[in-house]
Structure 1
């Protein structure tokens, strides 16, 4: 199988999470000819979990985990730092209660797995069982919040309504009318977490960074050949933890939508600024209206604003410097609407991260080709889903059966086919603009 040119990640150089970390050790790169038992492409949450689980099952096997960038530099290190137990809003509306319970169980298994690894390896990543607020500003947000409460009651999950004054005592602003607090969410520093997971991989996993795979084909013996810049990997079994980039290897083409969302954060606030604002550290608030604004206060006291979505068919190359500056200005307006007394506090970083969604909101999990397996399309909930789907993909490959594996097969399927360009781009951009306009009161 020969592919067209593979388009590689093209992330900006301004991710605050990554910049806050110490300089990593020099990368080990793919060099020469290598024969391995398993190759995993993509060292994000899914790829890291898959490689680790393969090594647990087969400690004598030779496993390589390959990434085009440094660990933590790509999408898994660019999210807002939530590990959410609850199914996504669209999944919460699924008519089958068992479907929702399966998703809930999978997400919580991922959280338990990550917590165990963080504690066992003492990974310094601001890991915190902080729960999560879902906030509403005006009537539109409050209507979404009431709908969320109904869905939570149907699911039988605990939640608590938090009125304006109580909420302001935590987040330091009266901007929100009300919020719903759910206790099962964890917060973390994503780039630090994935780097820590990479540094504690089992000894039979070889991590190769800055090693883009430029071609993929099958040889006459049925082995897969992964062609790098300065080397080649030959393997009978290939696992793809490549999210949106799965289509670059010839799979799930015209079924995945590349979307980028953006965040900005401040320097750490001083003691005086924290006290004057009345803000507490270490919390996260997502919008009741999904197109609204996410706000985080990190453990090291940085305020983060995340909103704005873009369709990015060329990944990071789709976003110009001027567009990024416009987004930063929008983040600034959102910050000042909530914290006008912090007008003297500038943003230090603004970054984007690309992820995959599907038109039918379906995740792919399973075998794509003879000896090629993938988990793809996290639909915006990547930390928990990537962790559990990567783990279970390794189970699937080695033939280890479990109830969790049955559960993930039951809730996944084939992402629906997209319309052709230019109709696809026009449609996606129009929907994003409409959502932003309708949700302007919640931004």
Structure 2
């Protein structure tokens, strides 16, 4: 039996959720049901798996079990970049990825983008949910400029479209005079993550059923099928897809292999768009890993800016308001440096969200035992990687040896982490060094 030792808990309100009307959750599971496939987790991975399963066999009975309310967990705390080109949080340098690895990653990411784009077209979602606007990488130092040029040369070698912008060019986009250069990549989708995941969840119809506020307490193999239990119900299913990222460890899986890191964001109150020049909707990742992500979002009540920076390790999979406030103080400094003309604009929302990393930056993926499939450990870039993992897990669960399944099966297994207390000491020191290297970026 796999028994949950703890359940997801979110203290702070994500700005993406705060901008939406309150959700009326789907009913919780309160009965005993049968399903062909049970999916644990209704985030990027879980809902993408459900979508792909339905494409492969529209008659499949699929039960999606979400511990909380859709959009309020890790997915709704994402910054919304569904990227198509490799850029890993864990990498030292944009240019350290071989062409073979880069092309593999591009295949994964563009398959994820195709799934999202197909749904947007089918259901008529507007740009307020999914915007194919591309992204920028931005620098504020000579070191950052060097990284951008290095990465641009790699993209040129791969034959990928891009555009380098000088200081004046990137200022015309962002309205900030701090940036010294930029690199535009047109293939990234930007989503309002909470709105997107709600829209995906609400697109399903029978025989796919979503149960919210239905945390899985345990699951076990019984007579050739799986029995999953929640507080008030149970599911008998032939297959399980585990799509709860770091919380797979709460069931005792991947023990000693998942590193739990939180990243933090702040979102401003709305301001008059005339106060900041440049485009009204743009998104920028930092030239240096562990730097500062910035996103401008337009709205009927004005524009907002999102600042994402700061990383911290938490083995217990939880943070508190003190951690959020501490990161927020850093965000305020970053915001003031980039947008000095908006000094009286306050932050309305602050939050943190979890990532599950592995020591060798590979997913926790595959068939753990007959009928039990995992699509966990996104290693950052959750919108792209988790979506891709969900697609591949669905195909694997259906017995397909697809290109996506082959790529995921080609990864080596996650390496074991050092024992405590060396793990905590090393993880915290490593994050501090990486943030120090990123400097003002």
- Structure 1 residues 85 and 59: CA distance shift in structure 2, 3 A: same
Give the Cα separation in 1 of the matches to 2:34 and 2:440: 56
Whether the aligned pair in 2 keeps the contact of 1:263 and 1:307 (CA below 8 Å) is yes
Find out whether 1:376 has 2:376 as its counterpart.
yes
Give the Cα separation in 2 of the matches to 1:113 and 1:394: 13
Please name the residue that 1:307 is paired with: 309
Please name the residue that 2:50 is paired with: 51
Equivalent positions of 1:358-373 (< 5 A) are 358-373=358-373
Give the Cα separation in 2 of the matches to 1:366 and 1:25: 34
Please name the residue that 1:204 is paired with: 207
Unaligned 5+ runs, structure 2: none
Give the Cα separation in 1 of the matches to 2:125 and 2:81: 16
- Structure 1 residues 13 and 371: CA distance shift in structure 2, 3 A: same
Q: Please say which of residues 184-193 and 48-57 is displaced more in the overlay.
A: 48-57
- Structure 1 residues 436 and 95: CA distance shift in structure 2, 3 A: closer
Whether the aligned pair in 2 keeps the contact of 1:110 and 1:388 (CA below 8 Å) is yes
Equivalent positions of 1:169-188 (< 5 A) are 169-188=172-191
Equivalent positions of 1:326-337 (< 5 A) are 326-337=326-337
SS at structure 2 position matched to 1:315? coil
Give the Cα separation in 2 of the matches to 1:352 and 1:95: 28
Deviation, 1:147, is 2.6
Deviation, 1:2, is 4.3
Q: How many residues align?
A: 434
Whether the aligned pair in 2 keeps the contact of 1:94 and 1:100 (CA below 8 Å) is no
SS at structure 2 position matched to 1:248? helix
Unaligned 5+ runs, structure 1: none
Please name the residue that 1:105 is paired with: 107
Among 256, 259, 271, which residue is 2:258 paired with? 256
Give the Cα separation in 2 of the matches to 1:217 and 1:243: 19
Find out whether 1:217 has 2:216 as its counterpart.
no
Please name the residue that 1:144 is paired with: 147
- Structure 1 residues 161 and 70: CA distance shift in structure 2, 3 A: same
Please name the residue that 2:400 is paired with: 400
Please name the residue that 1:298 is paired with: 297
SS at structure 1 position matched to 2:131? coil
SS at structure 2 position matched to 1:109? helix
Whether the aligned pair in 1 keeps the contact of 2:161 and 2:186 (CA below 8 Å) is yes
Please name the residue that 1:233 is paired with: 235
Equivalent positions of 1:40-79 (< 5 A) are 40-79=39-78
Whether the aligned pair in 2 keeps the contact of 1:63 and 1:206 (CA below 8 Å) is yes
TM-score, normalization by structure 1? 0.93
Give the Cα separation in 1 of the matches to 2:196 and 2:218: 30
* RMSD of aligned residue pairs (Cα, Å): 1.8
Q: Please say which of residues 27-36 and 339-348 is displaced more in the overlay.
A: 27-36
SS at structure 2 position matched to 1:302? strand
Give the Cα separation in 1 of the matches to 2:60 and 2:440: 55
> Any idea what the Cα deviations from partners look like across 1:173-218, whole Å, max 9, x if unmatched?
1111111111111111011001000000142111011111122222
Deviation, 1:92, is 6.1
